[in-house]
Structure 1
Amino acid sequence: MTALSSYVSHIFPRWRTHFLSFFGDRSRSLGLGLLLAGFSSLGAITIAPTSYAADRIYVAYNILERSISVKALEDYAQRGVMDEDLAVYAQYANPKVLENLRSALQAKADVNPVTVAQFLYSPQGEAALKRLGQVIQPESRISGYQAIRAALILAARDPEGLTLLNFLRRFPSKGIRIDVERSLRVAGEAEQLINKTKQATQAIIQVASEERITDPPLTNRIDLRRSGPFGFDKQTITLNDPNRGIATPSAPAVPASTRGLLKGRIYKVDIYTPRLEKATAPRSLPVVVISHGLGSDRDSFAYLASHLASHGFVVLVPEHPGSDSKQMEALLQGNASEVSEPGEFANRPLDISYLLDYLEQQSRTNPTYQSFNLQRVGVIGQSFGGYTALALAGASINFPELQASCTNLENTFNISLFLQCRALQLQHSDQTRSDFRDPRIQAAIALNPITSAVLGKNNLSAIQIPTMIVAGSSDTVTPALFEQIQPFTWLTTLDKYLVQIDPGTHFSVIGDVPAPNNSSNNSNNSSNNSSKPASTPNSNTTSLSIPPEVIGPDPAAAQHYTKALALAFFKTYIAQQPNFRPYLSATYARSISETNLRVDLVRTLPADQLSQGPGRTVAVGVKR
């Protein structure tokens, strides 16, 4: 999922909190409570940092209505002057809360108006706006989603920047009406979900503590977080699958049915090969494929690829065109209409299968690839890449579940559904394939994957190979409860693991996008002899700047966990070295857990552990 959507889901609840603090004591005044809920909704409205426009804000609850002028808020924000309109409510707040309110009104977001517009006109942006439009409305009381979008775009163009006040000033109606009854209901549902996520997090911690009692002892323990004994070579190859096209940002006006078909689907692949002494090198090298997330690229997991290569694995890292950083850049520049086209749900797993086919063919004549064991391959992916890994593992697209989950997106708390529901378009396409299982994939790890609707319970339960799911308890893009914790309980494979990073976010395990030393961008096969990645960013990579608070605490620790547990998992199930299996335990996870970012691993999570948690409606975040 995108950095923009994550930033949105993180920053606006913070603004909302300022208003909750100021207008929050409903027991003292009904009018106060009305404005509390109203401003709470305005805090959530902001899809991109927001700003106000209109003369007055009207907050209605049944037949009761209260209001406050925009000018009163403006005067207070800019000059600290409080008129009678605002003073009625200020008497209930302490000075610190008042200062927080003033800061929130003026908080500025440096975003390009084109970026805001492109996101808000995308299917994901429109779905979010329609939900906000149920609560935030113009004077006519119709859905406010179009007015909200206009105000956000205009405010982003303002010389003063996008602020909450500027949003109000640009709202295309003399008044803003807020449906408090609906707002309170939404707020209550959100609070319930937060509490249930906390319950699930604690359930995992409890199960891990119980599993530690029966875990086998770790003898001759080694630190799997450290680099292995081997250097590695890295080469970049370019593949062209003539049977598939890609809707390239450079040709957005060409019909999707024909776009890119003349040149096929062209994509680059980084290949990390360990340097082994010929006399002692095994005849068959284990292979792992890494699939990056939406809006990311091959460099995002260079730290993991180099780590696995240093321990003797061949690592293949394809870049998925159409859902990579270039696609995100095209969206933000106005050259693409969405962050990813529906066809990427098919193209991503096919990228990996085509890569394995290509290497098998090349190995017949090219000595470079003859030592690769391409019949027993591991795959690891993050976010959209997590879906890719699980699809290759045997979970097909679940069109019935998508139909059920995507009928009421205006009421979802799970923003990953905005992406998952795009897969419905494949059901009516010329290519109706939904099963992408590749029998060469023998073990899979999914980091922060999307699963709940696009795969669903029935199809996830079809996976029969060893599977690990990694969740971040504070992930607001692919929420852990919806997308990882409950889906883990649907797995039926005997070898399954759930890893929880607390309070991990959607970005905790993603690297700093390093570029290897002397790396080549030649479209032909190229190679360098760098044994470790450099720390300088790749100048060819364009990505959104993600604030530290969105990334979360101690990402270095999260990446150490990923290196250690992925190594143990693939050593056990791909390299077939059973002496690494004891590292796949609650005991080992606890032994490497850091203070600021806890990690727990469980092999089981009985359904009754979540029985006090969400039902099916909550699991997908949609009111059925």
Structure 2
Amino acid sequence: MTTYPATGLTGPAPAPTVSVRPVVLPAPQHDEGLQVRVSAPVTGTELPIVLFAHGFGSHLDGYAPLVDHWASHGFVVLQATHLDSRRLGLAADDPRRPHLWHHRVQAMRTILDALDVLESSLPGLAGRVDHSRVVAAGHSFGGQTAGILVGLRVTDTRTGTAEDLSDPRVMASVQLATAGAGGDDLTPFALENAPWLRAQDFSHITAPGLVVAGDKDELPLSTRGPSWTTDPYTLACGDKSLLTVFGGEHSLGGIAGYEAAETTDENPERVALVQQVTLAYLRHVTGVDDTDWETAQATLAGDAHPLGRLESKQAQ
């Protein structure tokens, strides 16, 4: 067991990791196939899975501060490059653009359907993965993607309906700096550029989940300010926890990547907080160990800790 001085939290010692990419899966909406990265520790068995969705414009090589941390502590992390990635250069008038949110969910389902293929793609990983323990995680746009897999309902602008696109193979979620409710909370910019945010219904989410929000996350999408990103916690049902990162902007100190240009609040201690709390939660929710999660809850209770606050609510 390791105690981290910057946060006062605890965690297991890291192990070496290995990754492979791209593993290309057939996917109807992806012209050259869906590209996936697989990362895992070199040792261990019955490894749980984190299915991670990047933020708008990113790619399968992003979020190393989180992906490397999770993989080095016992998780198989699967990342795809989604259609909105800048690497793919989707044209502004491409007919797929208004429905990017839906194509993301389809891509995540494609990955879940191909777990055997992905496991076999990384030498030495076959037979060491527990397919029954899958947590969906994501940052920003990816947080919505993860939420949909556990019950978030988004009204499709084509049909006017909010279809249930949840997947029973996903047991829990981790949503980082992601969108809140639509309607009057949205700015004109959001209405024009992110139509998938116009109507979101969190009430059907009953799976356990951790929401991470920065208290300085001023997005151009909402008129409500940083509190908007706490909606996935306050409006959802079931066992939920909320980590509020003090001083955290949209990149939460730099989780999108080391020295990433989009990080406006670079702060290694904030990144360490997010790394350690999300890992403790993943170990807790997948049944690996509760000790570090209990330590995090005690250490981050109230507003005494300089980096953040952790609170929870139980299913009603």
**TM-score of the alignment, normalized to the shorter chain, above 0.5:** yes
Deviation at 1:567, TM superposition (A): 0.5
Q: Contact 1:274 / 1:313 at 8 angstroms: preserved in 2?
A: yes
Q: Contact 1:377 / 1:441 at 8 angstroms: preserved in 2?
A: yes
SS in 1 for 2:114: helix
Residues 121-270 of structure 1 aligned to structure 2 (within 5 Å): 222-223=3-4, 228-242=13-27, 244-246=28-30, 260=31, 266-270=33-37
Report what 1:311 is aligned to. Answer: 73
Residue identity matched to 2:22: I
| Distance in 2 (alpha carbons) for counterparts of 1:396 and 1:236 | 31
* Cα distance change on mapping 1:512 and 1:448 into 2, 3 Å: closer
Deviation at 1:267, TM superposition (A): 2.3
SS in 1 for 2:291: helix
Report what 1:193 is aligned to. Answer: none
Q: Contact 2:153 / 2:162 at 8 angstroms: preserved in 1?
A: no
| Distance in 1 (alpha carbons) for counterparts of 2:120 and 2:40 | 18
| Partner residue of 1:287 out of 28, 32, 49 | 49
Report what 2:138 is aligned to. Answer: 381
| Distance in 2 (alpha carbons) for counterparts of 1:355 and 1:236 | 14
| Partner residue of 1:344 out of 95, 100, 106 | 100
Higher strand share: 2
Query: Residue 440 in 1 paired to residue 172 in 2?
Result: no
Q: Contact 2:299 / 2:305 at 8 angstroms: preserved in 1?
A: no
Residue identity matched to 2:29: G
User: Where does structure 2 lack aligned partners over 5 or more consecutive residues?
Assistant: 183-195
Residue identity matched to 1:470: V
Deviation at 1:364, TM superposition (A): 8.8
Report what 1:556 is aligned to. Answer: 268
* Cα distance change on mapping 1:489 and 1:511 into 2, 3 Å: closer
* Cα distance change on mapping 1:310 and 1:363 into 2, 3 Å: closer
Q: Contact 1:225 / 1:561 at 8 angstroms: preserved in 2?
A: no
* Cα distance change on mapping 1:487 and 1:291 into 2, 3 Å: closer
Q: Contact 1:300 / 1:510 at 8 angstroms: preserved in 2?
A: no
Report what 1:460 is aligned to. Answer: 202
Report what 2:249 is aligned to. Answer: 505
Q: Contact 2:10 / 2:292 at 8 angstroms: preserved in 1?
A: no
Deviation at 1:225, TM superposition (A): 7.2
Report what 2:186 is aligned to. Answer: none
| Distance in 1 (alpha carbons) for counterparts of 2:199 and 2:3 | 37
Residue identity matched to 1:323: D
Report what 2:159 is aligned to. Answer: 427
Higher gyration radius (CA): 1
Deviations 1:365-413 (A, max 9, x none): 997332211121112101100101100111121x2xxxxxxxxxxxxxx
Deviations 1:219-241 (A, max 9, x none): x8733577833101111133333
Q: Contact 1:234 / 1:273 at 8 angstroms: preserved in 2?
A: yes
* TM-score between both structures, scaled by the size of structure 2: 0.79
| Distance in 2 (alpha carbons) for counterparts of 1:509 and 1:377 | 26
Deviation at 1:590, TM superposition (A): 7.0
Deviations 1:272-295 (A, max 9, x none): 11011xxxx33x111112211001
* Cα distance change on mapping 1:438 and 1:316 into 2, 3 Å: same
* Cα distance change on mapping 1:326 and 1:462 into 2, 3 Å: same
Residues 317-356 of structure 1 aligned to structure 2 (within 5 Å): 317-320=79-82, 322-327=83-88, 330=89, 335-337=91-93, 341-356=97-112
| Distance in 1 (alpha carbons) for counterparts of 2:304 and 2:109 | 35
| Partner residue of 1:580 out of 274, 278, 292 | 292
Deviation at 1:362, TM superposition (A): 6.3
SS in 1 for 2:97: coil
Deviation at 1:471, TM superposition (A): 1.3
Q: Contact 2:300 / 2:309 at 8 angstroms: preserved in 1?
A: no
The count of corresponding residues between Structure 1 and Structure 2 is 293
| Partner residue of 1:568 out of 275, 280, 292 | 280
Residue identity matched to 1:344: L
Deviation at 1:509, TM superposition (A): 4.5
| Distance in 2 (alpha carbons) for counterparts of 1:232 and 1:308 | 10
Residue identity matched to 1:507: S
* Cα distance change on mapping 1:593 and 1:474 into 2, 3 Å: same
Higher helix share: 1
Query: Residue 271 in 1 paired to residue 38 in 2?
Result: yes
Query: Residue 599 in 1 paired to residue 308 in 2?
Result: yes
Deviations 1:588-620 (A, max 9, x none): 4679944xxx31111149xxxxxxxxxxxxxxx
| Distance in 1 (alpha carbons) for counterparts of 2:255 and 2:230 | 23
Report what 2:189 is aligned to. Answer: none
| Distance in 1 (alpha carbons) for counterparts of 2:53 and 2:105 | 9
| Distance in 1 (alpha carbons) for counterparts of 2:252 and 2:226 | 17
SS in 1 for 2:18: strand
Residue identity matched to 1:341: R
* TM-score between both structures, scaled by the size of structure 1: 0.42
| Distance in 2 (alpha carbons) for counterparts of 1:500 and 1:267 | 33
